[in-house]
């Protein structure tokens, strides 16, 4: 089950383009976008442009220094995480409980699509297939509406 879950997570990561497929060095922007500014603006470090932001500016400088030293993205993110906690990452990790954050929306949509597909498939295999059934002499909805409108007509002064 765990292996299956890991395989699914990996497949999802590949589809979403978040797995480190190529060994290209990370860019400054890439790392800045993976971190949240701690000044309270709610933006990523890359997006925060507060004047001399006490959080964003030093973080940007540190990222540049670490990249210049040849550190990888994961190492840099781990360093910031150790300092500020998990909240510094701008998106949940793919591990443990956080895995649910990524998988749940897709699982919900796929499950609903599957259920919908099954219902439609069952109905389209039913008697409706082939020749269309002869319509009833009077549509029941129309009949109900007629009755209702007549009733309304009678009720009105």
Partner 1 sequence: MPALGRLAVCLALLCATFSVGASVAGAGWRRRDLVAAGAHAAYAVFALVAVAVAILLRALLTHDFSLEYVAAYSSSTLPVQYTVAALWGGQKGSLLFWVFVLSLFTTLVQLQNRERNRELMPWVTATLMVIAVFFLALVTFVTDPFELLAAPAREGQDLNPLLQNYWMMIHPPSLYTGYVSASVPFAFAIAALATGRLDDQWIRTTRRWALFSWFFLSLGNLFGARWAYEVLGWGGYWAWDPVENAAFMPWLVSTAYLHSVMIQEKRDLLRVWNMVLVLLTFTLTIFGTFLTRSGVISSVHSFTQSGLGPFFIGFLVAVILVAGGLVAWRLPELRTRGTIESFLSREAAFLFNNLILVGIAFAVFWGTVFPVLSEWVRGVKITVGPPFFNRVNAPLGIVLLFLVGVGPVIAWRRATPRNLRRAFAGPVGAGLAAAVLLRLAGVPLGWAHATFALGVFVLGTVVQEFWRGVRARQAMLHEPASRALARLVGKNRRRYGGYVIHVGVVAIFVGVAASSAFRVEAQQTLAPGQEMQAGRFTLRFERTESSEDAHVARLAAVVSVREHGRQIATLAPEKRLYKKPQQPTTEVALRSRLTEDLYLVLGSYDPKSGLVTLLAYVNPLVSWIWIGGAILALGTAVAMWPSALERRERAWAPGRVGVPAK
Which residue ranges make up the site for partner 1 (CB under 8 A)?
A: 15-18, 29, 33-34, 36, 40-44, 47-49, 51-52, 85-92, 97-98, 101-102, 104-106, 108-109, 112-113, 116-117, 120-121, 123-124, 126, 128, 132, 140-141, 144-145, 148, 156
DSSP 8-state secondary structure symbol assigned to residue 135: P
Closest distance to partner 1 from the beta carbon of 45 (Å): 10
**Which residue lies nearer to partner 1 by CB, 7 or 64?**
64
Closest distance to partner 1 from the beta carbon of 83 (Å): 14
Dihedrals φ, ψ of 37, to 5°?
Answer: -65, 140
Q: Give CA–CA dist 102/89, Å, rounded.
A: 14
**Which residue lies nearer to partner 1 by CB, 48 or 67?**
48
**Which residue lies nearer to partner 1 by CB, 33 or 62?**
33
**Which residue lies nearer to partner 1 by CB, 72 or 89?**
89
Closest distance to partner 1 from the beta carbon of 71 (Å): 20
Closest distance to partner 1 from the beta carbon of 17 (Å): 8
Output the CA torsion 148→151→152→157 (10° steps).
Answer: 180
3-state secondary structure 36-99: ECCCCCCCECCCCCCCCCCCHHHHHHHHHHHHHCCCCHHHHHHHHHHHHCHHHECCCCCCHHHH
Dihedrals φ, ψ of 8, to 5°?
Answer: -65, -40
DSSP 8-state secondary structure symbol assigned to residue 19: S
**Which residue lies nearer to partner 1 by CB, 78 or 101?**
101
**Beta partners for residue 69, in sequence order:** none
Closest distance to partner 1 from the beta carbon of 75 (Å): 19
């Amino acid at each position: 089950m765990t292996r299956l879950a890991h395989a699914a997570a990996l497949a999802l990561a590949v589809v979403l383009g978040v797995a480190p497929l190529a060994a290209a060095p990370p860019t400054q922007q890439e790392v800045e976008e993976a971190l949240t500014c701690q000044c309270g603006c709610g933006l990523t470090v890359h997006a925060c442009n507060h004047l001399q932001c006490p959080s964003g500016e030093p973080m940007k400088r540190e990222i540049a220094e670490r990249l210049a030293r040849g550190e990888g993205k994961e190492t840099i993110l781990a360093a910031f995480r150790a300092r500020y906690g998990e909240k510094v990452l701008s998106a949940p990790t793919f591990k443990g409980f956080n895995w649910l954050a990524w998988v749940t929306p897709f699982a919900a949509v796929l499950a609903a699509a599957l259920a919908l597909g099954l219902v439609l498939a069952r109905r389209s295999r039913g008697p409706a297939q082939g020749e269309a059934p002869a319509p009833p002499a009077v549509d029941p909805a129309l009949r109900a509406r007629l009755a209702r409108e007549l009733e309304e007509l009678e009720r009105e002064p």
